[in-house]
């Protein structure tokens, strides 16, 4: 089918839009920590079942201690620290702006890969960073109301910092995942590589989910939120939102993103999958009654263009 990869990529962006909005609903009802304990537990269960169904082995038995260490670190940075910032940004500034700040992730990925892997940052990457930041600035800055101030921030500073932290966690977590996945691939016996290659990203993500669940579980205990976890089991609306979020994000989103690059160029797929900050505008207006402005639309589009430049230049 012509344009199948492009269609799948847009479907992934829509899936991630649903995940972001349902996570916002759950976080506002039962709190960030409880939401993520449930989310990581459900994601781990789905991952175990999926690996068992497709490979006959639920547990990543071939992963070495080194692979586990890198992937566990990736899970801590991405699923705990990064998502702590992301979900708090949903509460502070909403999922619409939270997704907008996630367009910073490729920039932080490029910087982390330069620092940790020695990858060269091209002029195109630097241009992409500036375009992305310009788009975000257009969306979150407004004309200064006080005398002597040319511009002012129209969002809470705390929410903006959470958004930046979320992008950093996603970007750094991705580089740690790459290191872990490369080690994991080397751990697989040569006779099994061909059969396992397609499922290794899912198996690696399972390890990251283990790390995320441990981190969120410890944080739940340390902050004394066990009672909230028990009470959340009776919040039907929050649990349904969580189920939809987990299924549309870690399951559908991740799975189909891997499928998309099999049918179209990785740069095109990545660009189309990054359009969720644009897709989320109308649903956020309809469900959360957020005001849509021309400035917000232009800023979101420019940010997505900035992301696309990372892959297309």
| pLDDT exceeds 90 at position 50 | no
Q: Name the 3-class secondary structure at 300.
A: helix
The pLDDT tens digits of the residues spanning 179-231 come to 998 999 888 888 777 777 777 888 888 999 999 999 999 999 999 999 999 99
CA dihedral sign, ordered 281, 283, 288, 293? positive
DSSP 188: S
Sort 270 into a burial class: Cβ within 10 Å, 0-12 / 13-18 / 19+. Answer: buried
Alpha-carbon distance of 122 to 150, in angstroms, equals 33
Average pLDDT of the segment spanning 263-284: 84
**φ, ψ at 141 (rounded to 5°):** -105, 150
Q: Are 220 and 232 in contact (CB under 8 A)?
A: no
Q: Which residue has the tokens 């410890």?
A: 218
Q: What is the pTM of this model?
A: 0.90
pLDDT above 70 (res 147): no
Nearest to 277, CA basis, from 262, 294, 263, 298: 298
Asked whether the predicted pLDDT for residue 144 surpasses 70, the reply is no
* pLDDT at residue 55 is higher than 90: no
Mean pLDDT, the chain, whole residue set: 88
Is 263 in contact with 11 (CB distance < 8 Å)?
A: no
pLDDT higher than 80, residue 313: no
Question: Using an 8 Å Cβ cutoff, are 235 and 31 in contact?
Answer: no
Lowest mean pLDDT among 4-8, 37-41, 134-138, 154-158: 4-8
Output the CA–CA distances (angstroms, integers) from residue 208 to 97, 155, 247, in the order listed. 26, 32, 17
Could you read off the pLDDT of 10-38 as tens digits, one per residue? 998 999 999 999 999 999 999 999 999 99
- In the block, tokens 């940010």 appear at 303
Q: Residue 267 in 3-state DSSP?
A: helix
Helices 65-75 and 157-187 sit at what angle, rounded to 10 degrees? 160
Q: 3-class SS at 92?
A: helix
Q: What is the largest CA-CA distance in the chain?
A: 71
| pLDDT interval class at 246 (50, 70, 90) | confident
Coil, strand or helix at 31: coil
pLDDT at residue 141 is higher than 80? yes
Closest to 83 in 3D by CA, of 239, 244, 249:
249
Higher confidence at residue 195 or residue 279? Answer: 279
What is the pLDDT, as a whole number, of residue 227? 92
DSSP conformational letter for 150: S
Q: Give the Cα separation of 43 and 34 in Å (integer).
A: 14
What's residue 148's pLDDT? 53
State the average pLDDT over residues 232-254. 87
Answer whether residue 146 shows pLDDT above 80.
Answer: no
Spatial distance between the Cα atoms of 131 and 177, rounded to a whole number of angstroms = 26
User: Would you give the DSSP letter of residue 102?
Assistant: G
Q: For residues 187 and 62, is the Cβ–Cβ distance under 8 A? A: yes
Hey, which bits of the chain come out as E strands?
Answer: 141-143, 151-153
Q: How confident is the model at residue 310 (pLDDT cuts 50, 70, 90)?
A: confident
The reported pLDDT for the residue numbered 258 is 65
């Amino acid at each position: 089918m012509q344009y199948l990869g492009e269609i799948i990529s847009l479907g992934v962006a829509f899936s991630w839009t649903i995940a972001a909005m349902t996570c916002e609903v759950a976080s506002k009802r039962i709190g960030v920590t409880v939401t993520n304990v449930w989310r990581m537990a459900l994601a781990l269960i789905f991952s175990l079942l999926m690996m068992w169904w497709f490979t006959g082995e639920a547990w990543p038995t071939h992963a070495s201690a080194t692979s586990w260490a890198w992937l566990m670190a990736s899970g801590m940075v991405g699923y705990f620290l990064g998502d702590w910032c992301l979900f708090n940004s949903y509460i502070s500034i909403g999922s619409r702006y939270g997704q907008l700040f996630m367009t910073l992730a490729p920039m932080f990925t490029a910087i982390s890969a330069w620092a940790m892997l020695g990858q060269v940052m091209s002029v195109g990457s630097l241009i992409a960073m500036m375009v992305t930041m310009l788009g975000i600035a257009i969306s979150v800055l407004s004309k200064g109301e006080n005398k002597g101030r040319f511009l002012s921030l129209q969002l809470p500073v705390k929410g903006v910092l959470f958004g930046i932290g979320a992008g950093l966690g996603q970007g750094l977590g991705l580089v740690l995942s790459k290191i872990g996945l490369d080690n994991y691939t080397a751990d697989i016996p040569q006779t099994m590589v061909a059969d396992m290659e397609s499922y290794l990203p899912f198996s690696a993500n399972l390890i990251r989910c283990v790390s995320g669940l441990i981190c969120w579980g410890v944080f739940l205990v340390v902050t004394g939120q066990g009672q909230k976890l028990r009470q959340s089991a009776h919040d039907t609306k929050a649990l349904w939102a969580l189920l939809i979020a987990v299924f549309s994000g870690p399951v559908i989103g991740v799975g189909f993103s891997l499928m998309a690059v099999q049918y179209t160029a990785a740069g095109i797929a990545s660009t189309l999958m990054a359009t969720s900050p644009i897709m989320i505008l109308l649903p956020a207006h309809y469900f959360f009654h957020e005001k849509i402005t021309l400035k917000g639309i232009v800023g979101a589009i420019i940010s997505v263009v900035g992301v696309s430049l990372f892959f297309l230049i």
